[in-house]
A and B are shown apart, each in its own frame.
Chain A
Amino acid sequence: MSQNTHVATEPHSLETLVSDWSTDQEVFKKVQWGKAMMWIFLLSDTFIFSCFLTSYMTVRATTMVAWPNPSEVFALTLFGENIPLILIAIMTFVLISSSGTMALAVNFGYRRNRKATAYLMLATALLGATFVGMQAFEWSKLIAEGVRPWGNPFGAPQFGASFFMITGFHGFHVSIGVIYLTIIALRVLNGVYDRNGKYEVVEITGLYWHFVDLVWVFIFAFFYLW
């Protein structure tokens, strides 16, 4: 390691870990502050969603009444056939597609390709809106079938509370993400980041969006598949 620079250059060595954390200035060297702050926000959000999923685990493990079978509750009849969990599967693919377009948008952002970045972000927002729309459909279907936070016709009454809380909070994150993406995409299109050179804003927005997809991975596994 060179003695002159206080910023160690090899990113994955323990030396950089120690030297980064022991400086009395900023810790996250070469990381834009907005990005570091977004990561810390996402860390706190991780704990919120984990609390929801853990309490879901607790009520599901303690209930004396059989838990409703998600495979049947979320089945749809398509083309005359009853397909288990199909709506949730489609929602998963929509969200993963949106993550893909977002990743590409970040990449084009750093290539300074204004239009490709903006349109890919708008495509991401559109896929996100599609996801929220499908969720609204799912909610109205379940509410029509009599699912309430305090009870439902399929089994354990805690099912409704867990469902509305977890998917509701996630859907709220997606909705905020759609608004956030649209605002940043329009700013990209207007050339704001071409002028001030801060294309990392696209990456920061991307972090939030990928996190929403990440949370869905856990909800899909624990709530819908388990």
Chain B
Amino acid sequence: MDQATHAVQTPSTPVGTTQGHDDAGQQHPLGVYFKIWGLLFVLSALSYAVDYFGFQGLTRWSLILIFMFLKAGLIVSVFMHMVWERLALIYAILLPPLALIVLVGLMSLEADYTHWTRMLFYETPAAIEPVEHH
């Protein structure tokens, strides 16, 4: 790629960051990274606490998912600089994974079917231990 293209100024920043630089590329105050780093530590500790204090059922699953998505969001948006990228790149990278929702949906339907089929036809008591958590 030619130097002239990315020697122009980088995109403006939404979250109150300054852009004092003469190079191409992403430059943000160090404080942003320390804050996100701290947040990631707190969120990891919280997700570990979910297991440590033994939450079960719906509470457990929703807490796990909330902390997971918050961590993933922080990493992608700040550490990987996605909030400062152009919309063309953001959409090109973040939209395709939505197709995975379809895959997960189809596979969970299929898994449900397989599981019930096994329940119906695998009923050989000696070979199989009792199912407890379904």
Q: Are A29 and B76 in contact (CB under 8 A)?
A: no
State the CA gap A21–B78 with chains docked (Å). 24
Q: Are B75 and A225 in contact (CB under 8 A)?
A: no
B98 → A minimal CB distance (Å): 11
Task: Tell me whether B114 is interfacial, beta carbon within 8 Å.
Answer: yes
Residues of A within 8 A of B50 (CB): 225
Task: Tell me whether A110 is interfacial, beta carbon within 8 Å.
Answer: yes
Report the number of A-B residue pairs with Cβ-Cβ less than 8 Å: 197
Known: A64-B122, A96-B41, A207-B80. A20 touches B86 (CB 8 A): yes
Interface size of A in residues (CB-CB distance below 8 Å) = 73
Residues of B within 8 A of A96 (CB): 37, 40-41, 44
A-B contact pairs, 24 of them (CB 8 A): A11-B84, A12-B86, A20-B87, A28-B86, A29-B86, A31-B6, A31-B86, A40-B92, A47-B100, A50-B97, A58-B110, A66-B129, A71-B54, A92-B44, A93-B44, A102-B79, A103-B33, A110-B26, A199-B25, A203-B25, A206-B80, A207-B80, A221-B47, A225-B51
Question: A103-B36, A104-B30, A217-B71 are known contacts; what are 15 more A-B pairs with Cβ within 8 Å?
Answer: A11-B84, A17-B88, A20-B88, A29-B86, A33-B1, A42-B93, A54-B104, A58-B108, A62-B111, A85-B52, A96-B37, A107-B28, A210-B79, A217-B72, A221-B64
Instruction: Name B residues whose Cβ lies closer than 8 Å to a Cβ of A.
Output: 1, 3, 5-6, 8, 10-12, 14, 21, 23-28, 30, 33-34, 36-37, 40-41, 44, 47-48, 50-52, 54, 60-61, 64-65, 67-68, 71-72, 75-76, 78-81, 84-89, 91-93, 96-97, 100, 103-104, 107-108, 110-112, 114-115, 118-119, 122, 128-133
